[in-house]
Structure formats: C-alpha cells, structure tokens
Amino acid sequence: MTRRRWIADEVTGNTAALVGEHAAHLSRVLRAEIGQEFDIATEAGIRRGTIISISDDRVEFTLGEESRLTSRNSAPKITLALAIFKFDRMEWAIEKCTEIGVARIIPVIARRSDAHLVTAAAKRHERWQRIVREASEQSRRTAAPEITAPVKLKEVDAVLPAGALTRVVLAESLSSSEDGARLGDILQPRLNDFEVALAVGPEGGWADGELSWLLDAGWVAASLGNTILRAETAAIVATALALEALR
C-alpha cells in the first residue's frame, strides 16, 4: 500500500514536524495516531516517518530510511505568471498546475484584473500557499512550488529566476494560423532551457499595450490553437505542454 506523503515544515537531524493547520489536518481530520508511518518529504529527499508525538498543532516524526522513490533528476522548471481573475477558477488552475509539476507561480495584476480581486489578492497569499502544499502532497511531489505575492505586470521580470532564458506569453488573440506560433514549436528547439516562464492573461486576454510591452521586453508570443480558452484552461494546458516539450 502506498503511504501518504507529507512535506515537512521543520527538520532537525532525524526528526521532522508538521505545525499549525498542517498538523491539525493530520491529527484532527485524519485522526492519526502515534506509531503510524508516512512518507516525509525533506530538502534532502523522501524518508519514512513514524509519528512519535501528536497534538492539535504539532505532529512529530522520527525519520527512518530514505525512500527508493526519491528522484532528484534535472526536470525542466516552469514558472507560471498567472494574471489574477475570479478566485475560484484561478485557485483551481493553481491546484492543477501544481499537480502537473509547475515550479513557481507568480500572480500578476493585469489591467483586466477586477479591482476588488486585486485588493483582496494580497490576503489570499497564505491560502494559495496552503493550496500548493496540499496539491503537492496529494500528487506526491517532493516539494511545493513557490507562489509569490501578487506583482504588477511590469514587475514580473524582476521576480523571475535568473535562469529563465525562455519567456513565452500566451496571446489569446493570435491563432496558430495567423502570427502566433504554437507553444510546442517554440519550445522544442530550446531543449537545453530548463527554466521557462509562461505568462497567461486574465479573462478577455491581455489589454491593449500589455502584449506589446511583453514582446518589447523579450517575451515570445505563442498560441494554443485556433480556439479561445478560458484563463484556467490555458494555464493548465500551457503548463502541461511546456513540461512535455522540454522533457
């Protein structure tokens, strides 16, 4: 039977711990008991963890052998710059892109992002961190992706990782039969670029001037085909296609 995986909040030597709401879910919701075993993800790898103490806000494990399933290969790293749109659909995209394997998510304040959502976005950051952690554990990732605080579009480049050599903006107004190349065709010749950034606009796409600004800043326009996708669909499809193209 596959053991459930948890990403440790604290690690000291051969001891790890979950804290706060993270621990409460295991102790109160799942009713875990001392002696139960789980896979515990740490920065050093995946190890078998046995519960040695448990309370509502802290669960401690003693760490045993390293799992043979631990993988430290050089998988491509995708940064998703995702414009802020209706939270329920945006958070669904965040969850699914995490499951697929995105490495980093940057919420972006675009011109077509509703003002009340932009105002509320800063308060959602902690919730988004919880979503990516839970999705990572569910999908058995070794670590959760980073999700930054919201930034304005013109600040995106400043928070990209230094190695993000390829930057692609999804231009919903361009079809592959016009002047937007398909995403896979852009990435296939760039197999050595393990750091790729994707920018996905809000509902209705990028406003006038935003797309041209990105292109002037060195981003490359791409299309996902001849149909118009919702923002959350575009984010999920683009992330999956990019990872597949670069593997």
CA-wise closest residue to 243 among 140, 112, 96:
96
pTM of the model: 0.82
Confidence at 105, pLDDT banded by 50, 70, 90: very high
Choose the weakest-confidence range: 45-49, 61-65, 189-193, 239-243: 189-193
Average pLDDT over residues 114-118: 95
Please give the pLDDT value at position 214: 93
| Domains, the chain | 5-66 (2.40.240.20), 77-246 (3.40.1280.10)
Secondary structure (3-state) at 140: coil
Average pLDDT over residues 188-202: 76
pLDDT per residue over 51-102, tens digit each?
Answer: 999 999 999 999 998 876 555 445 678 999 999 999 999 999 999 999 999 9
C-alpha 208 chain-centroid distance:
28
pLDDT at 173 over 50: no
Please give the pLDDT value at position 37: 92
Residues 6+ apart with CB under 8 A from 122: 149, 150
Please give the pLDDT value at position 180: 56
Instruction: Give the mean pLDDT of the chain.
Output: 87
Let me know: does 8 contact 40? Beta carbons within 8 Å: yes
Average pLDDT over residues 138-153: 93
CA-CA distance, 109 to 121, in Å (whole number)?
Answer: 9
- DSSP labels for 101-120? T-SEEEEEE-TTS-HHHHHH
Average pLDDT over residues 132-136: 94
Tell me the residue length of the chain.
247
